[in-house]
A and B are shown apart, each in its own frame.
Chain A
Amino acid sequence: MTTSTTMSRSTGYRFSWIGMIGFAIILFWAIIAFLAPHIIPYPVGEIVDEDYFGPMSSKLLLGSDYLGRDMLSRIIMGARYTVGISLAAVCLACFSGAALGMAAAVIGGWFDTVLSRFLDALNSIPSKLSGLVVAAAVGSSLPVLIIMLGVIYIPGAYRFARSLAVNVNTMDYITVARTRGEGIPYVVFSEILPNIIGPLLADFGIRFVFIVLLLSGLSFLGLGVQPPYADWGALVHENIGGLPFGAPAVIVPSLAIASLTISVNLLIDNLPKKIRDRSA
């Protein structure tokens, strides 16, 4: 990988080109999602094309959908839902999962046992199935989607953080902190967290991808984001009829999902590495 790496002497970190490409694509989607209402060429609900599943043209850059709405605008607005919901859900899953996991490792005993067994039980329910059940039971709204996706991924984040924290917890500096009389919050956030933050961030990225895919899957089944709003998964679902015509309306949202998930993976596989030998 020596050919794909570059060095930054000033920051003391080594970046890889592949990671930079991934980061650029993520940044691109983040900006799109943030600025969406200001850059869409047409309102998302407006029918602008007489034909449905229209091809790419200079007027409609990505063609039109099954009702003749502008596909580019819908994808730009869809980015808000896909990126926004997934990000909120992954934050919920990873922050609470990691905090619980580290606390369980430090406190140990019955707290650890009860929490672990409970989350194992939660983990044993297939994620799509529990998504379907919740959506059927309480209906699908944005807050419900975020909480549901978050809760589904808490056990994984918990397990991961706990296994890392258990190793760090055996170190002498934790014993030193405890004999100093430090409380649990200090040990968790000040002594353990800085040592496992790297793997936790990588886990955050992976879980983000899982959630994007699960959200897209739910939306494709019609249980995710409800019309008139649409995320990318819902866009694929509502335009599936365009598949025989090779319409861009079904291909482009699929590509959008792929580009986001793959670039997140590229980034977390190529996070900047710290250069230990700084005297060079």
Chain B
Amino acid sequence: MANLVEIRDLKVEAKTDSGRRIEIIKGIDLDIAPGEIVALIGESGSGKTTIALTIMGYARPGCRISGGSVTVAGKDMVALSERQRANVRGLEVSYVPQSAAAAFNPSKRIIDQVIEVTRIHQLMPPAEAREKAVSLFRALSLPDPDGIGNRYPHQVSGGQLQRLAAAMALISDPKLVIFDEPTTALDVTTQIEVLRAFKAVMKKSGIAGVYVSHDLAVVAQIADRIVVLRGGEVQEVAGTNEILADAKHPYTRELLSAFEPKPRGESIVAALERKPLLQVNGLIAGYGPVQPDGLPLVKAVQEASLSLERGRNLGIIGESGCGKSTLARSIAGILPASAGQLTLDGRELAPSARQRSREQLRELQIVFQHADTSLNPAKSIEEILGRPLKFYHGMKGKARDTRIDELMDMVRLPKALRSRTPAELSGGQKQRVNFARALAAEPKLIVCDEITSALDTVVAAAVIDLLKEMQRELSLSYIFISHDLSVVEAICDEIVVMYNGRKVEEITPAISKVPQHPYSKLLFSSVPKLDPSWLDRLERDPELVKTYVQG
């Protein structure tokens, strides 16, 4: 049987500000058989989304398909005119974007947007399209399939919206669906429902798929074949089982090894005296107007109590909306806590950062998730690192210059980057600068708010290694906030699980790795494993899922 998609020697080039042309896809060959799901996997900038988009004959603004052919069902998308391509899009090839929330028009009802494709291509009368949409909603196991279409996009959850976006893509019975990181923005417990729904629908209708992702474990659940990309070139192509069991290419092995749990050395902890560094007692924080009882209207964190000893690390995990970031912000004094006590190194901390002494501020540093927004784009790396040195330690001139070099050495940044601005750095480099700025203060405790979430797996693993090394050398403590269990397990001595603003369980991995609380169990079991049969074998208690998953 002929292949549905045949990509031959595809080249895409981009034009830079100064008019220079860069080849971002360097001659790719790829075949997709009818009904086959092929995953494109790679880091950001590897060209995975660019390739997926060329299947619709589309190149993003500033880019151009400069060579080769992309044949979809006998038609070369590169050679077609824009009008002819429009006839193929949505009808034969459709697209599910990463952020369904951004893809839906917030002012129109969902059903009208889902059946829009049938109107554009004049496939069927609206009434028939609606019926078909409802049957798709049912197949994607959405709650209330008859009524959900009449809601507006903000009235459904993220996981539901992602499935509705899939329904929009499937309504025209396409031959191929492109999924562009459709579950990356979802919580793990929600992700499972969405993945299951996708998998079931795709298998049933025999539609071919291109699944773009950076997450090997997710891809392993759904794809028949995996294409590993790096720098616009194919590194390795093989069936899912072969890739997982016997990866040939060193880069693929690197990706796989990022998944292996890293042993956490129980070293320096015992040597240091066990003295409590940070104590949090009955902390309540939230948003909205203050109520008569002196507490805010919306309590994002309710009566959280934690204790952290010097030289040890505390992990806080939970899904979006559980209050973990709010907790971090109130510890740092950005969002003053409404009630409860904070004690750092035996001295009480004022709720608001403004009331804390400069010394207290220096001892407790916070590092944010997005290095893009936490580094001032108008300043050079030198200025960014130099400021805390001058501010806290009064360093000037030569002493400061030497210290900046030392800091950059510590986080393994080349000195050549000193005079660059953040925009000229890669994501991993920016996060290192972000971390180095916190180190410059010589703190006792660093609160890391999802610092690896925006990074690629391999880069994130390197950042985690760096954190561990810094801890050995500088006897720091971390509070590590993440939704990613594997990251937290790799570095933390204690793990606090949060749900709905409350601390539900505290786990010490060194003693017992098995969670007791039902929510923790659900959360821990929802993290995808590299095993391709994991999703099919996974059994979840429907009652538990109903209680804790809004997906």
Name A's B-contacting residues (CB within 8 A). 7, 14, 171-173, 175-176, 178-182, 191, 194-195, 197, 273, 275-280
| Chain B residue at minimal CB-CB distance from A273 | B17
Inter-chain contact A276/B373, CB cutoff 8 Å: no
Inter-chain contact B376/A181, CB cutoff 8 Å: no
CB of B377 closer than 8 Å to a CB of A: yes
Residues of A within 8 A of B358 (CB): 181
> What CA separation (Å) do A194 and B358 show in the bound complex?
25
Inter-chain contact B391/A277, CB cutoff 8 Å: no
Q: A4 to nearest B CB, angstroms?
A: 14
Residues of A within 8 A of B332 (CB): 179
29 examples of A-B residue contacts, CB within 8 angstroms: A7-B18, A14-B18, A171-B376, A172-B368, A172-B374, A173-B373, A173-B376, A176-B366, A176-B374, A178-B334, A178-B354, A179-B332, A179-B333, A179-B334, A179-B366, A180-B361, A180-B387, A180-B388, A180-B441, A181-B356, A191-B376, A194-B378, A195-B377, A195-B378, A275-B18, A276-B17, A277-B18, A280-B18, A280-B20
> What CA separation (Å) do A49 and B356 show in the bound complex?
77
CB of B375 closer than 8 Å to a CB of A: yes
CB of B291 closer than 8 Å to a CB of A: no
Inter-chain contact A175/B334, CB cutoff 8 Å: yes
| Chain A residue at minimal CB-CB distance from B375 | A173
CB of B379 closer than 8 Å to a CB of A: yes
CB of B263 closer than 8 Å to a CB of A: no
Inter-chain contact A277/B17, CB cutoff 8 Å: yes
Which residues of chain B (1-53) have a CB below 8 Å from chain A?
16-20
Q: B434 to nearest A CB, angstroms?
A: 9
Known: A181-B391, A276-B423. A176 touches B378 (CB 8 A): no
Q: B367 to nearest A CB, angstroms?
A: 9
Residues of A within 8 A of B424 (CB): 276
> What CA separation (Å) do A280 and B18 show in the bound complex?
7
| Chain B residue at minimal CB-CB distance from A175 | B334
Inter-chain contact B437/A176, CB cutoff 8 Å: yes
CB of B353 closer than 8 Å to a CB of A: yes
Question: Which of A179, A276, A278: most chain B CB closer than 10 A?
Answer: A179
Q: Knowing that A179-B353, A180-B391, A276-B17 are A-B contacts, what are 20 other residue pairs whose CB atoms are under 8 Å apart, sorted by A's residue number? A: A171-B373, A171-B376, A172-B370, A173-B374, A173-B375, A175-B368, A178-B354, A179-B334, A179-B366, A180-B361, A180-B387, A181-B358, A194-B376, A194-B379, A273-B17, A276-B423, A276-B424, A277-B18, A277-B20, A278-B18
> What CA separation (Å) do A178 and B16 show in the bound complex?
36
> What CA separation (Å) do A277 and B353 show in the bound complex?
40
Which residues of chain B (351-409) have a CB below 8 Å from chain A?
353-354, 356, 358, 361, 365-366, 368, 370, 373-379, 387-388, 391-392
Residues of B within 8 A of A171 (CB): 373-374, 376
Known: A172-B370, A173-B373. A181 touches B361 (CB 8 A): yes
Residues of B within 8 A of A7 (CB): 18
Inter-chain contact A178/B20, CB cutoff 8 Å: no
> What CA separation (Å) do A194 and B380 show in the bound complex?
12
Q: A34 to nearest B CB, angstroms?
A: 32
Question: Which of A180, A273, A277, A280: most chain B CB closer than 10 A?
Answer: A180
> What CA separation (Å) do A191 and B391 show in the bound complex?
14
Q: B446 to nearest A CB, angstroms?
A: 12
Inter-chain contact B353/A181, CB cutoff 8 Å: yes
Q: A276's contact among B16, B378, B379, by CB below 8 Å, is which?
A: B16
| Chain B residue at minimal CB-CB distance from A277 | B16
> What CA separation (Å) do A173 and B441 show in the bound complex?
15
Inter-chain contact A172/B373, CB cutoff 8 Å: yes
Question: Which of B17, B373, B378, B387: most chain A CB closer than 10 A?
Answer: B378
Q: B19's contact among A173, A176, A195, A280, by CB below 8 Å, is which?
A: A280
Q: Return the CB mask of B322-365 against A: 1 if under 8 Å, else 0.
A: 00000000001110000000000000000001101010010001
Known: A191-B376, A195-B378, A276-B423. A176 touches B391 (CB 8 A): no
User: Which 6 pairs show the lowest CB-CB distances between chains A and B?
Assistant: A194-B378, A172-B374, A277-B16, A280-B18, A280-B20, A172-B373
Q: A161 to nearest B CB, angstroms?
A: 16
Residues of B within 8 A of A175 (CB): 334, 368, 374
Residues of A within 8 A of B365 (CB): 179
> What CA separation (Å) do A275 and B20 show in the bound complex?
11
Residues of B within 8 A of A273 (CB): 17
Residues of B within 8 A of A178 (CB): 334, 353-354
Residues of B within 8 A of A179 (CB): 332-334, 353, 361, 365-366
> What CA separation (Å) do A280 and B15 show in the bound complex?
11
Question: Which of B356, B365, B387, B437: most chain A CB closer than 10 A?
Answer: B387
Residues of B within 8 A of A278 (CB): 18
Question: Which of A14, A195, A197, A280: most chain B CB closer than 10 A?
Answer: A280
Residues of B within 8 A of A276 (CB): 16-17, 423-424
> What CA separation (Å) do A194 and B18 show in the bound complex?
24
> What CA separation (Å) do A269 and B551 show in the bound complex?
49
Residues of B within 8 A of A279 (CB): 20
> What CA separation (Å) do A14 and B17 show in the bound complex?
10
Residues of A within 8 A of B374 (CB): 171-173, 175-176
> What CA separation (Å) do A175 and B449 show in the bound complex?
13
Residues of B within 8 A of A180 (CB): 361, 387-388, 391-392, 441
> What CA separation (Å) do A173 and B20 show in the bound complex?
32
Residues of B within 8 A of A173 (CB): 373-376
Residues of B within 8 A of A191 (CB): 376
> What CA separation (Å) do A242 and B476 show in the bound complex?
83
| Chain A residue at minimal CB-CB distance from B18 | A280
> What CA separation (Å) do A262 and B10 show in the bound complex?
49
Residues of A within 8 A of B376 (CB): 171, 173, 191, 194-195
> What CA separation (Å) do A195 and B375 show in the bound complex?
12
> What CA separation (Å) do A62 and B375 show in the bound complex?
57
Q: B302 to nearest A CB, angstroms?
A: 23
Residues of B within 8 A of A176 (CB): 366, 368, 374, 437
| Chain B residue at minimal CB-CB distance from A195 | B378
| Chain A residue at minimal CB-CB distance from B379 | A194
Q: A196 to nearest B CB, angstroms?
A: 9
